[in-house]
Structure 1
Amino acid sequence: MSDLQTKRTPPVIAAEINTIKRQTSKILLISAVEVGKRLKEAKALLPYGEWGKWLEEFVSYSQRTADRMIQIFEEYGAKLLVSSEDQEMSDSSPVTNLTYTQALIILGLPEEERDEFIAENDTGNMSNQQLQQAVYLRNQELAEKEDLQKVCAEQKDKLAKLSDERDRAKKEAIENLQAVWAEQGNVLKLQRKLDILANENADAKHIAEIEQENNLLKLNLSMSQADARFELIAKGFDDLFIAIKEMAAADPDACRLYISHANQLLTKTMNKLKRMEKASRAAPKVQENPDKDENEAKD
Structure 2
Amino acid sequence: MYCLENNLLKIEVAPEGAELRSLFDKQTGREYIWQRDARYWAKSSPILFPFVGELQNGAYSYAGKTYSMTKHGFARDAVFWLQEQGDNFLTFALEDEGLYLAIYPFSFTLLLRYELTDRQLSCTYELYNPLDKAMYFAIGGHPAFQLDFTEGKQMTDYQLFFPKDQYLKRFYLDSGLLQPTEETVALQNTCLPLSPTMFNQDAWVLKGLQSTTVTLQSNTQDYQLDFSFEGFPYFGLWAVPGSSFICLEPWCGVNDSAMQELELPDKEGIVALAPLTTWSRTWSVTIK
- Please give the range of the TM-score, normalised by the shorter of the 2 chains: under 0.3
Scaled by the length of structure 2, the TM-score of the pair is 0.18
Scaled by the length of structure 1, the TM-score of the pair is 0.17
Greater strand share, structure number: 2
